Amino acid sequence: NGVPPGNDMIRFSKGNMMWHSDYSYTADWAAQSILYALEAVSKGGETEWASTEAAYDALPEAEKARLSRLTATHDRFHSRIKNGFTDFTEEDYRLTPPVPHPLVTTHPVTGRKALLLGSHVSTIEGMSEADAEALVTELTAHCCQPQFVYSHGWTPGDIVVWDNRSTLHRGRAADPTERRVMRRTAVFGEGVEGPEIQVVG
């Protein structure tokens, strides 16, 4: 909000409206994120969080077992391309290569299991692209049912800290003519546990 038309921040903002976990396209993605509101809009612009732990707990045992054997590839450019970015360089791809993560992870502190999904998932090992996309869509819809979601409407001075290892989040649309100023930082630390994955390359 308050960004000139055509600015890349607009496309980034569209990406933020998709369910995701911050930096899941890196090997050791953000453990926590912090979002602070300096200026807020009068209506809309909420941020929503979905508990991927509660969603995992609600799955049938057979489905938990099936998903625990799957590995997903997270690709920064997969989600960016969906939002109109095309001007990537070879250096961009070299600096942020796709990374594999287990679809079911174990939190290093609580020991709880969670689903690791989001808009950065490009493929799932052993599945066609279409089948992988269908599964991610199905599981994301499961995670984002109302009973698993918290929605926060922002006022200036609000600050929210969340655990990326057990949640997905997204931003909601706001009036583009209103000014909104947010500050975000990410904390990188101990990752999650899952089946051993060999990274080649």
Q: Which two tokens stand for residue 37?
A: 């509101």
44: left (phi over 0), alpha (psi -120 to 50) or beta: left
Strands (E), the chain: 32-39, 47-51, 71-74, 99-102, 104-106, 113-115, 121-124, 149-152, 159-163, 167-171, 181-187
Active site residues: 20, 22, 169, 184
